[in-house]
Chains A and B, each alone.
Chain A
Amino acid sequence: MSTESQSHVSERSAGLNADLSADSTTAEATTHAPAATASLHSSGLTLGAVMAAVAAVLIAVSAGLAVGPVNIAAHRVGLQLLDALPAVSLDSGLSSIQIAIVEQIRLPRVALGLLVGATLSMSGAAYQGAFRNPLADPYLLGIAAGAGLGATIAITSNLGDGAGALDPVPLAAFAGALVSVAVSYLVGHIGGRSTASLILAGIAVASFLTACQTYVLQANSDAFRLIFSWILGRIATSGWSEPALLLPYFAITTAVVLRYRRALDVLSVGDEEATALGIAPRRVRLIVVLAASLGAAAAVSVSGLIGFVGIIVPHAVRLIFGSSNRVVLPLSVLFGAAFMVLADLAARTVLAPAELPIGVVTAFLGAPFFALVLRTSRREIW
């Protein structure tokens, strides 16, 4: 197609210009092109950046598996994990209790941390790209308030007690989160379909749902502690059920959002220019926001409201590696995962045997780190 249009153009310019300007242009282009092409590189994902992110994940996972109330050497943990692979047989030298601690307690928890961190930070990055707003986070369209209301209703109605088969709290939180996003989108579209009206609709919906939640709380003050601990978030697991629950949502969100990473770059020139470049901005935004919301709602339903990750990780990635969505989205997945595992590690060791709420840790660790990156980076990101 492009070659066709090119020959078309050169044909036409030759026809229009009786003099040799067309020829001289071609000659000029061919002499200059190699140098220009050599120096031109688009700021896509570099191997170094990916390796740094993978290294961060590996370090976080090793630390998350090795550190805990029972001392287990990190290299033995590594051997034990390799041993678990099919067709590999190694002797890690761990006792059966230690093996159980690694495989039944720490590994699921690390896996959940990876999934929650990756989902929340990728969703945040996707929201920021879709709304072209640096302050957007996964909770922008009322996910936090909706999930909070759902969880509060589930806890106060005592649905959660003794039901071994299916815990209703995450289900109610998930439903609440999705309903709030749907309502925000519907209300936002009534108000003129601009991103601003959508954000305002999200604020209105969130306020309304928070008011509802407060009302329910007032009527059931005995459940206050339970609800408060849910709101502050935690990466707690009972075996593999939570990571298994979150995994499909993480997969869907990642697949959709990463597929649209280039479309989000086009969207960064605004809806009108993006349309003139041949894309449909509203549809791109709808798809990306729905995918990101689905993942965030699933993460929130499993782990409660963990704040800060969705804003801080994508921005740190932007400051260090550049602001193209081709870079920010994939790296946010990896660094978000690593960050959450380390935050959870701090949450369960700092006051051991007590646990800090993870939302406290993400802000406590994240804010100074972010300030440091902000201070040292020379990039203009927003």
Chain B
Amino acid sequence: MTAAAPKSKLVRSQSPEVQFRAVEVTLDAACVLRGVDLEVATGEWVNIVGPNGAGKTTLLRALLSLVPYSGDIIVAGLQGLRQRQQRRQRRHRQDCARKLAYVPQAPVVPPGMQVSDYVLLGRVPHRGVFAGETPEDIRVVGETLTRLDLSDFAERTVQSLSGGERQRVVIARALAQQADVLLLDEPTTALDLGHQQEVLELVDALRRERGLTVIATLHDLTLAARYGDRVAIISDGSVAVTGPPAEVLTTDNISAHFGATVRIIDDPEGPVIVLSTCSKRASQAPDTPKSHNGGPT
């Protein structure tokens, strides 16, 4: 697969916001990432897809310095993200947290903590951990809660919220960080269809409003095609294919990297990926090449 021509929107940025160069991660003697190269432009939304255990989450964790890695991860405006080279560790950690905001797949819900306090945690990188919240922090959190329609929940505990509300609260905490890059690890996993749409639409709107760069891991390939600018398939610890959804999410690629037999239905908003059942596959077989070749014109 050839590298895709960037969309017009992406041409504006001169240097990439995030750059992975030959990133390797070894965990418990197992090689999880073996040479990942990926560039994400400023303001771009890249979805990382791949089979279970391919290293999607590990890639985000490496970017956050949560796992040791070799190779280079270059983040615009952050000097030397490489671990253990930093003399002033605390300052460096704060800089990272101001630059990269992380929404984990299964966030830890602190017992008894109310929503406003939880979102205020996103201000820690700005005020420092020993200082109290400033009026600026209160203002940012107030605005964030209003923007995400969470004002009514401000004094409820995070525990008491439903899955969709909770996901919005975690995103609110990430937004309160006022970071340039938003990292989402499986943001739709525990959500029903309506809430999946709500969360991803919200991220899309926020990205446009605030010029955020978004890197998300997703399992649902149709969602990965519908939202965001580019898709990167990670397979066996490295980036196998990257480019616009319609070019990356093909039956061949999905078969090669996911071991799944699918049909692709063309749609103006992006390819729709549908599983083929074994019994019907034989009869559908003649269709497959046709849908494979068809792309958006």
Q: Which residues on A are within 8 Å of B, measured CB to CB?
A: 1-3, 5-6, 8-9, 12-13, 15-17, 21-22, 25, 28-29, 32-33, 35-37, 39-44, 134, 259-260, 262-263, 265-266, 268-270, 272-273, 275-280, 284, 318, 322-324, 379-382
Contact = CB atoms under 8 A, between A and B. Distances in A.
Contact of B146 (A29, A260, A272): A29
B144 to A, nearest CB: 9
B108 A273 contact: yes
A259 B130 contact: yes
A268 B65 CA distance: 20
A380 B157 contact: yes
19 contacts: A2-B136, A3-B136, A5-B98, A5-B178, A9-B178, A9-B180, A16-B211, A35-B146, A37-B142, A39-B142, A268-B111, A268-B113, A275-B66, A278-B125, A280-B93, A324-B117, A379-B112, A380-B112, A381-B111
A380 B111 contact: yes
A22 B209 contact: yes
Interface of B: 9, 12, 42-43, 61, 64-66, 89-90, 93-94, 96-98, 100-102, 104, 107-108, 110-114, 116-118, 120-122, 124-126, 129-133, 136, 138-143, 145-147, 151, 154-155, 157, 159-160, 177-178, 180, 208-211
Contacts of B43: 12, 16
A40 B118 CA distance: 12
Contacts of A322: 112, 114
A280 B90 contact: yes
A43 B209 CA distance: 30
B117 A43 contact: yes
Contacts of B118: 269
Contacts of B121: 265-266, 269, 277
A44 to B, nearest CB: 8
B208 A380 contact: no
A381 B136 CA distance: 29
A278 B114 contact: no
B97 A13 contact: no
A21 B151 contact: no
A140 to B, nearest CB: 18
B209 A33 contact: no
Contacts of A272: 61, 66, 104
Among all A-B residue pairs, the 5 with the closest Cβ atoms = A278-B97, A323-B112, A12-B211, A36-B142, A270-B108
Contact of B211 (A15, A36, A382): A15
Contacts of B136: 2-3
A21 B208 contact: yes
Given A15-B12, A37-B138, A381 B102 contact: no
